Chain A
Amino acid sequence: MLRDSVRAFLAARGDRSWAALVDRLELGEALRDARQGAIVAEEIGRARAALPFAETAVTQWLLERCGGPGFEAAAVLTMAWAEPGMRYDMADIAMTARRDGDGWRLGGSKSAVGWAPACDRLVVAARTAGTVGERGGLSLFLLDPALAPNLRTHAHRTIDGRPAADLIFEDQFFGADALIGKPDQAIDLIEEARDRATALLAAEAVGLLDSLLAQCIAYTGQRRQFDRPLADFQALQHRMVDMYLECELARSAAWLAVEALDEDAATRAHAVSSAMVNIARGCRFVGQQAIQLHGGMGMTDELPLGHYVKRAMAIEVEWADADWHLARIAG
């Protein structure tokens, strides 16, 4: 039901924006429930729609866990954690939030924050205590970027065609109500948020990879060289079968991640990382082969293909890369 209606909406011509999607479909439940969310994410991947679904879902989840204010589904929400001085360990967050009277002053930089230029509210992870590398001392702040004159927003597009921005906070003041959840103790929540976002990205990758394979099968079936369709060559048939094997594993991996989200932290971490290692390998292999099988056409921006490949490349690293996940499994 949900799958069909999302697929129909994304296949139709016309307004495919977040506002239109939320307006047409009842997405509130899918934003809260990861199993339903995974269905929506997979269809978003299949259509390669640029929608802030995972960002909004995970930020909504954070707000709920922190007892923050609720927002209607149409609000675009995103979360800023990555910084120029860190890679993927949340304990390395360095941005500072220091008390100033009743409120807070935020200073530091956040890198390539997806949907930041288009969001209604932003959740920012910052250090209220401790030193870089310490797990303690992180807190979350809910901000309206439009009301922050000392926040410099360097908007750009990411490889997957989405709006993003580098955010530079120059001692920007926020009121006391900006702080959400318990101060100094946000790291467990931030890490769980990452796992939840990763599970949705894994589901999105399933749709993306399925579609890439379908595009290759269609193209090699129709493209003729040496007086026959390319798909007649066994070397290429087996290549597409190898892509299919990755698609199958990706689907299982996404389930693995989604179903582990409500387990204890260690079980969840192991499952999500195992999933993402497989998803990342699938994204890399299927993406590269999809271009190769399309020849010169695979290099052009005119075909949807390259946009799928670039979204898959973003999914590989958005919240953590395969090496980070491998290290987490290895312990």
Chain B
Amino acid sequence: MLKLTPEEAAFRDEVRAFFAADYPAHVIAKNAAGQQLDKQDHIDAQRALHARGWLGVGWPRDHGGTGWTPAQRYIFDQELELANAAAIIPMAVIYIGPIIAAFGSDRQKAEWLPAILESRAFWAQGYSEPEAGSDLASLRFSAVRDGDDYILNGTKIWTSGAQWADWIFCLARTSREERKQQGISLICAPLDLPGIRIHPIRLIDGSYELNRVEFDDVRVPVANRIGEEGQAWHYANVLLKTERLSYAHIGAKKRDLARLLAEAAHMPASGGGTMDRDPAFRLAAARVEAKLAAIEASVLRSLRTEISMATAAALKIACTECAQAISELAIDLAGRARLPMLGRDEPDWTAAAPAVPGFGPLAVQSYLFERAQTIYGGSTEIQKTIIWRALAAMAR
């Protein structure tokens, strides 16, 4: 059950060959060297995937999607990560694309979906607000009907990639209902409209990945709403079901662990020798490896069977904590090499600290950035509440 079928193994080989031969080498090189990717890199990467018909990973076939089984999708994700290819920016391709395909109007499907697949449009996600984080349903961002338009007001926060995006999809309150999950609609806006201001947020790792986006009387046509008014919570949950494994990143974990084991062979140990022979480090690495093996088995198990909300929540916690454990092992291995904080925009970024292995600054920034994994997409605390509700229901 945990093994690939012969067909799946053949598909894996096909995907592996694609990343080796038909994918932009400069993107892989930048990623492998720890250099930050820019928008053009992502465009190049997406175009290569699209040329092969492999960009719409979660989309139905009649909208240009791959129509893959969950196992194929998993194999693809894993090979992409193992190859050091660019992670697909999820906002358009993974998050809103499938919702447009399922609930959008004919016109939305005809205009928005091809623009995403052809890398003509990048999207941002407007969900969280300053006062609505874990308690997302308490959001206050408002859309007020005015003839054939909505007037949007409010603030969205933690908007990743807004600096690159052309469009944003927002959860907006269109009415006050008894349950706060009701009365929320999914409304899209081009980011260059008057009244929209994007404020970059500097993160603890030094990056400017996230933004705060303010809407001040922004007017969009009602035709920019996806699906029915007041139904956005339902749509978001449909998406959650199909995207349960999007946090798995098993390939990335294997790649990062392998990379740090390789680095250990070059890191001096106390008293001579290298860190790959250091007993404390070897045990610590083995502990993470064993955990990762069990988590991979969990993911494979979930591909073959229908999984419950509790299982999905448990998997999110396990996957994100494992990614953090790997990043922790990396800063522990780095030792003092974790000290320098270096910008990584240029190919020769390591030259700023020539007596420190570049692995160190990379490890520390990754450690800091990965702290967010247990916060976004439903924090660990929220996942635990979901699991407890399921356990309590079993007792009833």
B341, A110: Cβ atoms closer than 8 Å: no
B271, A89: Cβ atoms closer than 8 Å: yes
Cβ–Cβ < 8 Å partners of A168 in chain B: 354-355
Interface residue from A88, A298, A318 paired with B270 (Cβ < 8 Å): A88
How many pairs of A and B residues are in contact by the CB < 8 Å rule? 156
Top 3 nearest A-B pairs (CB, nearest first) are: A306-B204, A166-B355, A225-B135
Is residue B88 contacting chain A, with contact meaning CB distance below 8 A? no
- Residues of chain A having any CB pair with chain B under 8 Å: 82-89, 91-92, 109-112, 132-133, 154, 156-159, 161, 164, 166-168, 224-227, 233, 235-236, 284, 288, 291-292, 295-296, 298-302, 306, 309-310, 313-314, 317-318, 321, 323-324, 326-327
Is residue B297 contacting chain A, with contact meaning CB distance below 8 A? no
A-B contact pairs, 30 of them (CB 8 A): A84-B356, A85-B268, A88-B335, A92-B270, A109-B354, A112-B356, A154-B355, A225-B134, A225-B138, A226-B134, A227-B138, A292-B380, A295-B134, A295-B379, A296-B375, A300-B202, A301-B202, A301-B203, A302-B201, A306-B204, A306-B368, A310-B368, A313-B331, A314-B338, A317-B338, A317-B339, A321-B332, A321-B335, A323-B281, A327-B280
Interface flags, B355-385, vs A, CB<8A=1, else 0 = 1110000001000100110111001110010
A296, B354: Cβ atoms closer than 8 Å: no
Interface residue from A84, A86, A158 paired with B341 (Cβ < 8 Å): A158
- Residues of chain B having any CB pair with chain A under 8 Å: 128, 131-135, 138, 157-158, 201-204, 206, 210, 267-272, 275, 278, 280-281, 328, 331-332, 334-342, 351-357, 364, 368, 371-372, 374-376, 379-381, 384
Q: Name the prevailing secondary structure of the A interface residues.
A: mixed
A318, B336: Cβ atoms closer than 8 Å: yes
Kindly state the separation between the CA atoms of A175 and B219 in the bound complex, as whole angstroms.
Answer: 74
Instruction: Name the residue of chain B whose CB is nearest to the CB of A233.
Output: B381
Kindly state the separation between the CA atoms of A168 and B351 in the bound complex, as whole angstroms.
Answer: 13
Kindly state the separation between the CA atoms of A314 and B328 in the bound complex, as whole angstroms.
Answer: 14
Kindly provide the distance from the CB of A276 to the nearest chain B CB, expressed in whole angstroms.
Answer: 14
A84, B381: Cβ atoms closer than 8 Å: no
Kindly state the separation between the CA atoms of A161 and B339 in the bound complex, as whole angstroms.
Answer: 10
A296, B157: Cβ atoms closer than 8 Å: yes
Instruction: Name the residue of chain B whose CB is nearest to the CB of A108.
Output: B355
Kindly provide the distance from the CB of A236 to the nearest chain B CB, expressed in whole angstroms.
Answer: 7
Kindly state the separation between the CA atoms of A296 and B378 in the bound complex, as whole angstroms.
Answer: 11
B203, A83: Cβ atoms closer than 8 Å: no
Kindly state the separation between the CA atoms of A34 and B138 in the bound complex, as whole angstroms.
Answer: 53
